[in-house]
């Protein structure tokens, strides 16, 4: 029992044993006699009961406080499967009502979160390449944070925005490389999820936890716009997860793909050339995604030619194009409430 509880418990006992029938006030040192105050036995019993109840209350309150403190500090490791999972979510209902953040706990500035009820020793960075899709980004961030928190992950979301004229082709692979590089400047991460902004996972049993080294994971296997039919085994686009070690080993994404398509297929070829095994979650229904509506992107007319060139001498092409040849300019770095937002300038002549 805490000191306060002990004091509350001992005080009434002293009253009972000090005066069994009456209690008189004593003469004050150096002063006059205080007026006598008679307290009958029934009064003493009432006082005793009241103080005993207070002692019990404080004891249980403080014990509960210690338990809450242990939960807050997260003394135990998080379980392999979180007890907070909901399973499948009707994403269509969510997208119509995604007006506010609904996470379990306040985020740290920059879109970072650590579970409060347990500890995890692996840190995840989610990298989102982005340009000119503000409404989609709002829905995505407000949806994904609660999703990741229910999985009890230690994570940060990075949004990498390509600035400049909208007529300039979008380079998804280069933005992923920039997000990877800049994230590691801020914190050490064990793994990365590379995530398109228009894809929402429907089932929180689709784990975003770090994969094993040597086993990159393709997460967005079944998408509603394709009637949830499994995407081909050679596909690695949409949402994928790699350890930091594996991403460095393949020199990241190629920087050569300007416009839609090609960079994810090239990354798959890089993984295969390093004898890495691509994994996918089972059962299939847990890997379903909803694609948010958007205008169709203009395909990259050079994607097939670049893929063929890289496949001709995969090892040489991989080491000559990627993280080690990455060039860009950081225009701004903003730590927002739901993400770390990186504004970059990239040009074709850089690569």
Q: Which residue has the tokens 């991403």?
A: 247
3 state SS of 26: coil
Q: What is the DSSP letter of 349?
A: G
Give me the pLDDT at residue 305, please. Answer: 93
Give me the pLDDT at residue 12, please. Answer: 41
pTM metric for this prediction: 0.78
DSSP string spanning 275-311? TPPPEE-SSGGGGEEEEPP-PPPPB-TTHHHHHHHHH
3-state secondary structure 76-131: CECCCCCCCCCCECCHHHHHHCCCCCCCCCCCECCCEECCCCCECCCEEEEEEEEC
DSSP string spanning 150-177? HTT-EEEEEEEEE-S-TTSPP-HHHHHH
Residue 297 CB partners (closer than 8 Å, separation 6+) = 170, 259, 260
From the list 144, 95, 104, the residue with the least C-alpha distance to 124 is 144
Give me the pLDDT at residue 112, please. Answer: 97
For the stretch 15-44, pLDDT in tens is: 333 444 334 344 444 444 444 444 455 555
Q: How many other CB atoms are found less than 10 A from the CB of residue 196?
A: 22
Distance between CA 47 and CA 147 in Å, rounded?
Answer: 53
Torsion of CA 324, 340, 104, 120, to 10 degrees: 30
Torsions phi, psi for 331 (to 5 deg): -90, -35
Torsions phi, psi for 141 (to 5 deg): -65, -40
**What is the pLDDT tens value at each position of the chain, 351 positions in all?**
444 444 344 344 343 334 443 343 444 444 444 444 444 555 555 555 555 555 544 444 444 443 333 334 456 999 999 999 999 988 877 765 655 565 666 799 999 999 999 999 999 999 999 999 998 999 999 999 999 999 999 999 999 999 988 888 999 999 999 999 999 999 999 999 999 999 999 999 999 999 999 999 999 999 999 999 988 778 899 999 999 999 999 999 999 999 988 999 999 999 999 999 999 998 889 999 999 987 777 788 899 999 999 888 888 889 999 999 999 999 999 999 999 999 999 988 544
Q: Which residue has the tokens 């960075």?
A: 125
Helices and strands in the chain, H and E counts: 9, 12
Give me the pLDDT at residue 125, please. Answer: 98
Torsion of CA 114, 79, 75, 102, to 10 degrees: 30
Give me the pLDDT at residue 24, please. Answer: 36
Give me the pLDDT at residue 167, please. Answer: 84
CA 333 to chain centre: 20
Torsions phi, psi for 57 (to 5 deg): -60, -50
Q: What is the DSSP letter of 21?
A: S
């Amino acid at each position: 029992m805490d000191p306060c509880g002990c004091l509350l418990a001992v005080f009434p006992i002293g009253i009972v044993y000090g005066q069994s029938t009456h209690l008189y006030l004593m003469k004050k040192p150096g002063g006059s006699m205080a007026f006598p105050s008679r307290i009958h036995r029934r009064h003493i019993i009432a006082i005793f009961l009241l103080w005993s109840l207070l002692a019990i209350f404080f004891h249980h309150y403080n014990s509960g406080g210690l338990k809450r403190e242990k939960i807050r500090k997260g003394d135990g490791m998080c379980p392999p499967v979180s007890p907070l999972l909901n399973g499948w979510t009707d994403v269509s209902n969510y997208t119509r009502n995604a007006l506010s953040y609904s996470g379990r706990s306040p985020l740290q500035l920059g879109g970072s979160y650590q579970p409060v009820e347990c500890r995890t020793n692996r840190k995840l960075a989610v990298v989102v390449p982005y340009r000119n899709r503000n409404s989609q980004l709002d829905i995505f961030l407000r949806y994904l944070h609660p999703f990741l928190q229910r999985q009890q992950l230690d994570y940060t979301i990075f949004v990498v925005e390509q600035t400049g004229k909208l007529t300039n082709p979008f380079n998804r692979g280069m933005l992923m490389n920039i997000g990877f590089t800049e994230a590691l400047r801020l914190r050490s991460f064990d793994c990365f999820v590379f995530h398109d902004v228009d894809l929402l996972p429907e089932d929180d049993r689709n784990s975003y936890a770090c994969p094993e080294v040597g086993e990159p994971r393709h997460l967005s296997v079944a998408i509603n716009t394709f009637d949830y039919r499994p995407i081909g085994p050679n596909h690695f686009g949409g949402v994928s997860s790699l350890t930091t070690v594996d991403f460095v080993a393949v020199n990241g994404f190629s920087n050569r793909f300007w416009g839609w398509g090609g960079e994810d297929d090239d990354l798959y070829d890089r993984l295969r050339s390093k004898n890495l095994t691509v994994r996918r979650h089972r059962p299939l229904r847990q890997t379903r995604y909803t694609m948010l509506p958007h205008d169709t992107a203009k395909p990259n007319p050079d994607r097939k030619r670049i893929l063929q060139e890289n496949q001709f001498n995969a090892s040489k092409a991989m080491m000559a194009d990627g993280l080690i040849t990455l060039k860009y300019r950081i225009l701004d770095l903003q730590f927002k409430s739901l993400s770390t937002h990186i504004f970059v300038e990239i040009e074709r002549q850089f690569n």
